[in-house]
Structure 1
Amino acid sequence: MRYLVLTTLAVSVLSACASIHDMDKSATHFEPTPGGFRYQAFSDLLRPEGSEAGEAVRMRWLNEYLASNNICPSGYEISDRKVVVRDVIAGEKIADIVYYGTCK
């Protein structure tokens, strides 16, 4: 019985994490451009602007979107990245990050 309760609790926690990931990812914006795209994501306290981990999450979201929509199937290159700071909380930038990419 204890195992069942712990297993149920673990599944619930993992589901909540997946839901938060999907909710956060839905706050991004993708716009096709001739030969590429404009992708707007964000930084926050969980995914700081200057951190490798934060950038990895944003790139994962971008790659998931590109793959699920069959955009840039031969790959892409980020040609520009702009940070628009909205606020600073606890020393971390809360910002929109805009990526411009070209398909290969």
Structure 2
Amino acid sequence: MANKMLPAADVRSYADHFVDFLNKAVSPMHAVKACRESLISAGFEELEESDVWKLSPRGKYFVTKNGTALIAFVLGGNFTPGRPVHMVGTHVDSPCLRART
């Protein structure tokens, strides 16, 4: 497999976006808020945890809980309820990076 290098401008752009996120995500609640805003901008639909979800193939969805947890998912074109899914998970609470002065 060939090693593909990104152009310096792309690397800088990714780094700038990540630093912007870190500046917004000063706590788990702020991180969830920043991710929520990004998902909405990317066309994801917010679901309510207590509702019955109406999901469609190729749909992009997310749900939050207590302002500190967020689950986002994209359904494939062959999505059928009840069939297995593949998931990836992460968390924003630990380590919680805080700069103290």
Do these two structures clear the TM 0.5 threshold for a shared fold by scoring above it? no
Q: TM-score, normalised by structure 2?
A: 0.28
Q: TM-score, normalised by structure 1?
A: 0.27
Q: Which structure is richer in relative contact order (CA contacts within 8 A, separation 6 or more)?
A: 1
Please identify which structure carries the higher strand content: 1
Please identify which structure carries the higher helix content: 1
